[in-house]
Amino acid sequence: MNPLLKWVGGKRWQTDMLRPYWGGERVVELFAGSAAISFGLETRMEHLNDANPHLINFYRRFLDGTIVDTSGCTDEKEFRARRDWFNRLMVEGRADSPMAAGLFWYLNSTAFNNLWRVNSRGEFNAPYRKGRDIVPELGAMPSREWTLSNDDFRDVMLEPGDFVYADPPYLDTFSDYTPEEFTEFDFAELVALIAGHPGRVVIMNSATPLAKEICQGAGLFCTELQSQQKMQHSRGREDKIPELMATNFPLTGAV
């Protein structure tokens, strides 16, 4: 099943790889984004956490059926007006409103490369993607048990059997999804926090020497993958970037 949102760095391509290691238990995505793993595995129970409050508000409003429909035709002038509208809602303290959730869907559908980017004030500032003149209707959500949180990853309560998937902002790459940057120290703390989890754990990052050192130092199995992300194309690059998958269980080819 495809995710509702298109999200830079989405990992839908990993679901077939991970399916043999998932036993039907609850999936917890600590950095949910498009929740591609939960959608791809077609889980019955999942907990989605993300530091982006607008993302979690979108999911919450979609689940309770209160999201404002923003589908239909658009253009760059309308995009700029709605982007300003969305940012005004934040200033007015209405970032958790049904309208904000609808505008989030609109901006995700029409922004360049589906990029979610904010400035130091937390204002959405990604540009319009020319030619993206149709905002699709939201698909239907199948019956499933979702729980949501807008917490720091350190504050998410895990159950012993949870299948935990952590796909944080990558070291040495774009990290402006929220005003607070995700640093190498945050990554080290993430690894230390969940490496000993009794259920299965998957942690993603760029395949830098530092990321490998941190993960291997925590006793994790490390596998290097070729990135399927499309963000590099927006920068005029066609090369594939190696990614690191660190797990607390062995994968074929893990070292």
Condensed to tens digits (0 to 9), the pLDDT of residues 8-26 reads 888 988 999 999 999 999 9
C-alpha–C-alpha distance, residues 255 and 240, integer Å: 21
Q: Write down the pLDDT at residue 233.
A: 46
Q: Using pLDDT thresholds of 50, 70 and 90, give the confidence band for residue 128.
A: very high
Hey, what amino acid is at 219?
A: G
Q: Write down the pLDDT at residue 214.
A: 97
Q: Write down the pLDDT at residue 24.
A: 94
Q: 65-120, pLDDT tens digit by residue?
A: 999 999 999 999 999 999 999 999 999 999 999 999 999 999 999 999 999 998 88
Instruction: Give the residue-averaged pLDDT of 198-227.
Output: 95
| Superfamily grouping for domain 12-51+142-247 | Vaccinia Virus protein VP39 (3.40.50.150)
143 vs 62, which has greater pLDDT?
62
Given a cut of 70, whether residue 143 has pLDDT beyond it is: no
Domain with CATH 3.40.50.150 in the chain: 12-51+142-247
Q: Write down the pLDDT at residue 199.
A: 97
Instruction: Please tell me the pTM assigned to this model.
Output: 0.90
Instruction: Give the residue-averaged pLDDT of 166-174.
Output: 84
Q: Write down the pLDDT at residue 179.
A: 55
Please name the CATH architecture into which domain 68-135 falls: Orthogonal Bundle (1.10)
Domain with CATH 1.10.1020.10 in the chain: 68-135
Q: 79-94, pLDDT tens digit by residue?
A: 999 999 999 999 999 9
